[in-house]
Amino acid sequence: MNILELSKKLHPLERKVLPYLSDECTFDEIVTKSKFKDIEVMRAIQWLENKKVLDLSKCEIEIINLDKNGIMYKEKGLPEKRFLKAIEKESLSLSKLGFVLDKNEIGISLGLLRRKGAIETKKDKELVVSITNKGKEFLKEKTPEEKFLELKFPIEFSSLNKDQQSIFKELFSRKNLVKKDKKTLITVKTTKLLGELQKLKLSTNVIDTLDSKSLKSGSWKNKEFRKYDVEINVPKIYPGKRHFVNEAKNHAKKIWLSMGFKEMSGPVINSGFWNFDSLFVPQDHPAREMQDTFFLKGKSKLPSKKIVDAVKKQHEEGWKYKWDPEVAMKSVLRTHTTVLSARTIANLKEKDLPVKYFSIGRNYRNEALDWSHLFEFNQSEGIVIDPNANFKHLLGYLKEFFMKMGYDDVRFRPAYFPYTEPSVEIDVYVKEKDSWVELGGAGIFRPEVVKPLLGKDIPVLAWGFGLGRVILPYYGIKDLRDFYKNDLKQLKEMKSWI
């Protein structure tokens, strides 16, 4: 960079601070020498660092300083010395010593001076204290603690010798005498550019901004204007935005909508009838037990008698047991968005066909938390109700969706699910893991599901998969729990869907 061009871009604060910069000087030294405000110096050196004029290094150091009692003792003297001075000429009772020292100071001084053999005590009506010969010698000498208090504070702890560090620990054990804090030490390392700029001896009388006052007075005339710097680094701005999981959900919604699907929605709280019975899940199925399902207090209403009777008949004929409406009326948090598919099918008439629906919503299962399982998770659901639909169409819809979500390789494996036949599991190839990852299941609804709800056996393509697992590789996240850890840095810097 041309040195003259660079000099024209310098802010007045940068120009003012330039003469006080030297190699390995610290921020505090610059403030002391220049007598500028801390904030002015900080801004100046940060701007100069952006322009590559200097390098800043930061390290954390321990600083010791006097606390409120330490400041008072530095002026008045340590309490043990004042204690001895009070009894130097005559023995005194503790009540009389209370006029010289406070209760805490008397307690500290008694213990310390007894250990040093500097005082004697005897019990009369109350405790009386006398000075000893050792005490008189102690009174004449300047103690290491007194010498320590005479040091110029604040002091970097590492600069103390071993004896001084030992004295500090002793004083630190006493209440509010000394304290230790952590401080960030900023050190300036100069560059060749800095030396060249300092040689120019730049004027600080430059105009940085024009305002109405200077325009009216004409004070701007015959003055140097600072050149506007369009190349300087500026702070990154993090504007408000949706949570990245919600961005991913919206992206997935747009894909389904672009493929001609309509969105279906419904309640989170459902009856066991809609969540299980309508999907031909028997009432003694393990998935209905407490280890998987969140049951709620109270009962939910059943749908029309026509649908209930049709589902009941299908269960009793298909599974050979006595179907119980009380079990079906239990309220649950939905365990899958497939419940929305059942509700949607029940509201359709044959004249509405063909139709395609999708949903993306939250579901709840009483599962142990680990990297791939949450008790609250987002699932994407889809159904295609079409007399002409077939298994090949199902695979085509799914492959198209996952390719638009960024997966180049999608495969399907035969599987079993209670309410679809035939059934497949959906795998995608994740480059980062160099392996295939299972994402969800799909199939064609069994007649036992469709006939009671729709009144007729018509092909219904259906699928459901956890959206969290789908978006893990895109965000570079390996644990589903990291989606909701409220890390502000993660929320600010997480990339958006393209």
pLDDT in tens, the chain (498 residues): 688 888 888 998 999 999 999 998 999 999 999 999 999 999 999 999 988 999 999 998 999 999 998 899 888 888 888 888 888 888 888 888 888 888 888 888 888 888 888 888 888 778 888 888 888 888 888 888 889 998 999 998 989 999 999 999 988 988 889 999 998 889 999 899 999 999 888 888 888 888 888 888 888 887 888 888 887 777 788 888 899 999 999 999 999 999 999 999 999 999 999 999 999 999 998 888 877 899 999 999 999 999 999 999 999 999 999 999 999 999 999 999 999 999 999 999 989 999 999 999 999 998 888 877 888 899 999 999 999 999 999 999 999 999 999 999 999 999 998 899 999 999 999 888 788 988 889 999 999 999 999 999 999 999 999 999 899 888 888 888 888 888 889 988 898 886
Residue 249: half-sphere exposure toward Cβ, Cα within 13 Å: 18
CATH of domain 245-493: 3.30.930.10
Give the closest residue to 449 by CA, choosing from 288, 308, 306, 311: 311
Q: Residue 19 and residue 94: Cα distance in Å, rounded?
A: 61
Say if residues 176 and 69 touch (Cβ distance below 8 Å): yes
* Kind plus residue range of the DSSP H or E element containing 487: none
Residue 326, classified by CB atoms within 10 Å of its CB into exposed (0-12), middle (13-18) or buried (19+), is exposed
> What confidence score (pLDDT) does residue 83 get?
86
Give dist(CA 494, CA 447) in Å, integer: 45
pLDDT at 118: 85
Integer Cα distance of 81 and 263 in angstroms: 84
Q: What pLDDT sits at residue 1?
A: 60
| CATH number, domain 3-63+182-225 | 1.10.10.10
What is residue 386's predicted lDDT score, i.e. its pLDDT?
96
**Residue 456: per-residue pLDDT:** 92
Assigned token pair, 219: 């004070």
Give 391-450 as a DSSP string.
HHHHHHHHHHHHHHTT-S-EEEEEEEETTEEEEEEEEEEETTTTEEEEEEEEEEE-HHHH
Beta-bridged to residue 425, according to DSSP, are 413, 441
The number of beta carbons lying within 10 Å of the beta carbon of residue 85 is: 13
- Structure token pair of residue 335: 């365990």
Q: pLDDT tens across 325-380, in order?
A: 999 999 999 999 999 999 999 999 989 999 999 999 999 998 888 877 888 899 99
pLDDT for res 91 = 85
Question: What is the pLDDT, as a whole number, of residue 141?
Answer: 86
Gap between the Cα atoms of 376 and 362, Å rounded? 7
The CATH 1.10.10.10 portion of the chain extends over 3-63+182-225, 68-158
What's the predicted TM-score (pTM) here?
A: 0.61
Nearest alpha-carbon partner for 73 in 81, 63, 84: 81
What is the location of CATH 3.30.930.10 in the chain?
A: 245-493
- Residue 340, number of CB atoms within 10 A of its CB: 25
Sequence-ordered list of residues with C-beta below 8 angstroms from that of 26, at least 6 positions apart, any chain: 185, 186, 187, 188
Contact present, 16 and 36 (Cβ < 8 Å)? yes
Q: How far is CA 298 from the centre of its chain?
A: 38
Look at domain 68-158 and name its CATH class. Answer: mainly alpha
Question: In 211-314, at which residue ranges do the beta strands (DSSP E only) sit?
Answer: 224-225, 262-263, 269-271, 295-299
- State both tokens at 20: 């006080």
